[in-house]
């Protein structure tokens, strides 16, 4: 019997039918596009491409950057900047002689962070624009209210949130400069640097940084393990047992299933319906020729 089903809940998208107004969609798209374009131009200019590069190639590069950012691949901008630096930055320069490098790094970090955050930022900015335009279409009171609320939000968001973000980023850069210039910390820093330059050693602060990174990694990993719940711990033990003794368990299970299957088969054979005739008693079965011959031989 056929029964009408409600749609499968697991596959159903239950978004309500109310949709964005068309104006809002347009402004949202325009705002997002402009922001994407700005960030992509920044990244492209920071890559330091040669002047002789064709304009079509530049456009293609900008489009590729925009595409990556849209797909939340902001980390690709870091790789792009790293590759450009590997290619273009002069080697073996003293740290004190590269103040412009600090500014470059600061800008690059800013661009990377914005690129990673862009899919979330553009929604806010364009929504503010949309609200303002909507209100202006209705009445003066609404405009004032809209400006007030929007400006308040912009003040709140851009003024405080961005300030915190930027300060976090600045702190990261400053801390990075500190680590690079003062590792190993102490009086032997300069002598270490001098020694490494004289002997052509390149990774002079690298050993300590590597140790620091490993320490952070170990700490994070340990901490993550200590946060698992009891059910997760039990599950981990199960999975480890399965990994260790899995082959034995699988072979036992296969054998058991095989036995079960053969048992079922034999039961089916026993239950096989007869031909309809009654079973002939053994005494009434006529002896075959082979039997009689055997008897004769005996």
Partner 1 sequence: MTTRAQLFVMAGSIGLFAGLGRGQNALSLLSLSCLIWILSEWLLFYWHLRFQLPHLKLSRILNGELESNRSLWADRTVVVQCRISKGIRLFGVTLDLLDVVPENLEMVSIPSRKNADAFGFYRTGWSQSWIVRKVNDFIEGADANSCNQLKLGLFTQSDWGYTARVRAAGNVVFPGFRLTLQSTHALFRREMFIKCEQVFRALPSFVDAGEYRSLTKKSNVIPRHGIHRLHRSGMGSELLELREYALGDPFKSIAWKVSAKRDQWMTRQYESEVPTRVQLIVDGTSTSRVGGFGFRLLDQMTYVAASIGRMATNAGDPVGGVLFDERGVRRLLPMSGEKGFQILLRALGDFSVNPSPPPSQLNQRMMDAVWGMLSQRYPELLDFKVNQIPFALLPVLPSTRARRRQRFLVAGALSEIYDLSTREQVSLIQDDTSLARRIQDLLNRSGIPWITPVVSSSERSDRDPFTRMNQLSDCILSVVAHARDNEVIVVMSDLLDYVGILEFVLPAVKLAIAKHHRVSFICPTSTFQRPSRNVSADFSGNWSTRDLLFVAEQARLQIQMEQLQREVHRCGASVSLSGEKNAIRLIMSEIEAAKSGRSKFQGVSR
Within residues 206-245, the interface with partner 1 by CB under 8 A covers 206, 209-210, 213, 216, 220, 223-224, 227-229, 231-236, 238-243, 245
Q: Which stretch binds partner 1 (CB under 8 A): 48-56, 80-88, 185-193, 267-275?
A: 80-88
Alpha carbon 298 to chain centroid distance? 86
- Which of 65, 126, 135, 193: binder of partner 1 (CB under 8 A)? 126
- Which of 58, 117, 142, 166: binder of partner 1 (CB under 8 A)? 117
Min dist. Cβ of residue 139 to partner 1 (A):
18
Distance CA 200, CA 138 (A): 72
Q: Which stretch binds partner 1 (CB under 8 A): 51-59, 201-209, 267-275, 278-286?
A: 201-209
Q: Which residues, 248 to 267, sit near partner 1 by CB under 8 A?
A: 249-250, 252-254, 257
Min dist. Cβ of residue 37 to partner 1 (A):
19
Q: How many chain residues interact with partner 1 (CB under 8 A)?
A: 105
Is 204 a binding residue for partner 1 by CB under 8 A? The answer is yes
Q: CB-based burial of residue 81 (10 Å sphere; 0-12 exposed, 13-18 middle, 19+ buried)? A: buried
Min dist. Cβ of residue 269 to partner 1 (A):
21
Is 39 a binding residue for partner 1 by CB under 8 A? The answer is no
Is 17 a binding residue for partner 1 by CB under 8 A? The answer is no
Is 124 a binding residue for partner 1 by CB under 8 A? The answer is yes
Is 37 a binding residue for partner 1 by CB under 8 A? The answer is no
Spell out, one character per residue from 163 to 182, where the chain touches partner 1: x when CB under 8 A holds, - when not: -xx--xx-xxx-xxx-xx--
Q: What is the dihedral of CA 19, 21, 25, 27, to 10 degrees?
A: -150
Query: Within a 10 A sphere around the Cβ of 157, how many other Cβ atoms?
Result: 14
176-to-165, 182, 190 alpha-carbon distances in Å: 17, 10, 18
Distance CA 82, CA 65 (A): 15
Task: List the alpha helices (DSSP H) in the chain.
Answer: 22-46, 55-70, 75-88, 99-138, 140-154, 162-182, 188-198, 206-226, 230-270, 289-297
- Which of 4, 52, 54, 140: binder of partner 1 (CB under 8 A)? 4
Q: By C-beta, is 58 or 165 nearer to partner 1? A: 165
Is 146 a binding residue for partner 1 by CB under 8 A? The answer is no
Distance CA 125, CA 137 (A): 19
Alpha carbon 205 to chain centroid distance? 31
Answer whether 40's CB lies under 8 Å from 112's CB.
no
């Amino acid at each position: 019997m056929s029964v009408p089903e409600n749609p499968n809940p697991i596959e159903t998208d239950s978004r309500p039918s109310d949709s964005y107004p068309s104006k809002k969609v347009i402004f949202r798209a325009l705002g997002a596009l402009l922001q994407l374009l700005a960030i992509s131009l920044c990244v492209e200019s920071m890559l330091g491409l040669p002047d002789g590069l064709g304009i079509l190639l530049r456009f293609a590069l900008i489009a590729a950057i925009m595409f990556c950012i849209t797909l939340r691949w902001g980390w690709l901008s870091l790789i792009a900047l790293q590759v450009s630096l590997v290619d273009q930055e002069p080697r073996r320069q003293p740290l004190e002689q590269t103040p412009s490098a600090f500014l470059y790094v600061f800008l690059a970090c800013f661009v990377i962070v914005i690129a990673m955050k862009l899919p979330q930022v553009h929604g806010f900015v364009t929504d503010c624009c949309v609200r303002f335009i909507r209100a202006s279409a209705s009445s003066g009171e609404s405009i004032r209210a809209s400006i007030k609320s929007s400006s308040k939000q912009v003040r709140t968001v851009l003024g405080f949130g961005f300030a915190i973000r930027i300060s976090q980023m600045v702190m990261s850069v400053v801390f990075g400069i500190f680590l690079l210039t003062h590792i190993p910390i102490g009086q032997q820093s300069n002598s270490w640097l001098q020694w490494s330059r004289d002997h052509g050693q390149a990774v002079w602060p690298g050993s300590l940084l590597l140790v620091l990174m490993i320490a952070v990694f170990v700490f994070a990993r340990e901490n993550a393990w200590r946060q698992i719940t009891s059910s997760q711990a039990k599950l981990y033990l199960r999975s480890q047992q399965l990994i260790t003794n899995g082959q034995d368990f699988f072979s036992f299970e296969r054998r058991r299933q095989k036995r079960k299957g053969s048992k079922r088969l034999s039961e089916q054979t026993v239950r096989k319906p007869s031909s309809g005739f009654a079973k002939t008693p053994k005494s009434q079965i006529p002896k075959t020729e082979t039997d009689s011959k055997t008897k004769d031989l005996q």
